Structure 1
Amino acid sequence: MYETIQLEIAERKATLTLNRPTAMNAMDFTMMRELADCFEALHKEQGVQVLVIKGEGKVFSAGGDVKMMASSTDFSDFGTIMGDIARLVKAYYTLPMLTIAQIHGASAGLGFSLALGSDIIVAEQSSKLAMNFIGIGLIPDGAGHFFMKERLGTAKAKQMIWEGKVLNGEEALALGLIDYNVADGAASVVVDQLVGKLLASPILAMIETKQILHGANLAQLEQILQGESAGQVKMRQTKDHLEGIQAFVEKRVPQFNGK
């Protein structure tokens, strides 16, 4: 059914696996569209009460596919993909189920935005967690601004976004960016335990609380997604961004000049 993701539903639990392991589960146009389609379809799965998102292979997700960006100069096409990103974020944020991100390895850029949109985030100690769009002259998308602000407040969110620092599980937990920092290799076991606990709880009441709180934030989420879409198209046309992706592909330090 999907090329880049896998969805399994077993009774009241669904598991979505990002499945481009040879590309570090980087999100190309196909994966972004398939995630949006999948999350929208999950709204109709009334029996599912918990969704776990994880990555196949060595990492959760390295973020947006930078090599794809380097080869694409069609900015109208980029505007279209921002529409798919907005679609996936809104569908994910409004899911009538509890969502858990199970992170090992890298969770960066758009991959980190997706994880931060989850209700509960479990990351292994050696995870590399980064809102690192700044490294290629871009701003966060996938509602990265919204989710960072939700977790950190405006002032700290700005600083973290501007710095683009790579955090391990312990550092991310100390900041409040994740909910559980677990030993390497233990994420799946801890998530299974959490799922069991949630499914043995009065979960309908928990989902209702989620929908009330998230519903109150939807107008701001929409506004931020629109700002990210316009801003990202603008940033894609800067010399700093072109230098950033060229430096990334060439594995060198970028030389930015504010243009």
Structure 2
Amino acid sequence: MYKTLLLEKEERVATLTLNRPDAMNSMNEVMMKELADCLESIKNDNSIQVLLLKGEGRAFSAGGDIKAMMDTENPFHMEDVMVELGRIAKTLYSLPQITIASVHGAAAGLGLSIVLGCDIVIAEENSKLAMNFIGIGLVPDGGGHFFLKERIGIPKAKQLIWEGEIFKGVEAKAIGLVDVIASDGLGWVTARSYAQRLLESPLAAMIATKEILHATQIKELEWMLEKEALKQTAMRQTSDHLEGINAFVEKRKPEFRGE
């Protein structure tokens, strides 16, 4: 059904797997659209009460596909991309299911935005989490500003975004980005166990609480998504962004000029 995702359902649990392992599940336009479509289908599935998200292969997701961004023959359509990212973030946040992200390897950039949009974040001890858009002269997207603000507040969110620091799972838990730490190699087992405990809980009441708490924040999320779309499109035209992606490909330190 999907080219870049796997969706499995068992009892009241759905498992959504990002499935571009050869690219560390980096997200191209196809994956972004499929992820938005898939989440919307889950939102309308009353038989599902828990959604698990994970990545196939070595990582959860390395973020946006930088190679795709640099492909001049098949250019990245930024306006279309931002529409899909808005759909992903808004649908993920408003799902009438409890969502659990299982993080191993890297969850970077857009990958981390999606992780932070989940209700429960489970990460392996030495997984690597980074909101590292700044390294290529961009701003967080996929609701990254909103999800960071919800988790750690505005002052810490600004610092984390501006510094683009990489946190191991244990460090990420200490600052509030992660809820549960698992031993390396046991992240998925831990996530499955957590889901099973939820199935033995009064899930209808838990989902109702989520709906109540999230309902008042939807307008703010929509506003931030609009701002992210405008600012990201503008940042894509800057010399700093071009320098950032060239330095990334050339494996050197970028020389930014603030323009």
TM-score normalized with structure 2 length? 0.98
Cα pair 1:145 1:224 within 8 Å, conserved? yes
For structure 2, the residue ranges without an aligned partner over 5 or more in a row are: none
For structure 1, the residue ranges without an aligned partner over 5 or more in a row are: none
Alignment of 1:24-173 (within 5 A): 24-72=24-72, 77-173=77-173
Query: Aligned-pair distance for 1:71?
Result: 1.9
CA distance in 2, matches of 1:139, 1:75: 20
Aligned: 1:179 with 2:179 = yes
Query: Aligned-pair distance for 1:210?
Result: 0.4
Matched residues, percent identical?
55
Cα pair 1:128 1:169 within 8 Å, conserved? yes
3-state SS of 1:100 partner:
strand
Query: Aligned-pair distance for 1:22?
Result: 0.2
Query: Aligned-pair distance for 1:104?
Result: 0.2
CA distance in 1, matches of 2:229, 2:204: 34
CA distance in 1, matches of 2:244, 2:107: 19
CA distance in 1, matches of 2:76, 2:128: 32
Cα pair 1:104 1:123 within 8 Å, conserved? yes
Query: Aligned-pair distance for 1:77?
Result: 2.0
Cα pair 1:75 1:236 within 8 Å, conserved? no
Cα pair 2:68 2:76 within 8 Å, conserved? no
TM-score normalized with structure 1 length? 0.98
Show the counterpart of 2:205.
205
- 1:74–1:257 Cα change, 3 Å: farther
3-state SS of 1:7 partner:
strand
Query: Aligned-pair distance for 1:76?
Result: 8.7
State the Cα RMSD in Å.
Answer: 1.3
Show the counterpart of 1:253.
253
Letter of the aligned partner of 1:244 in structure 2?
G
- 1:249–1:32 Cα change, 3 Å: same
Cα pair 2:59 2:107 within 8 Å, conserved? yes
3-state SS of 1:54 partner:
strand
Query: Aligned-pair distance for 1:75?
Result: 8.5
Query: Aligned-pair distance for 1:163?
Result: 0.3
Cα pair 2:109 2:133 within 8 Å, conserved? yes
Q: How many residue pairs get matched?
A: 259
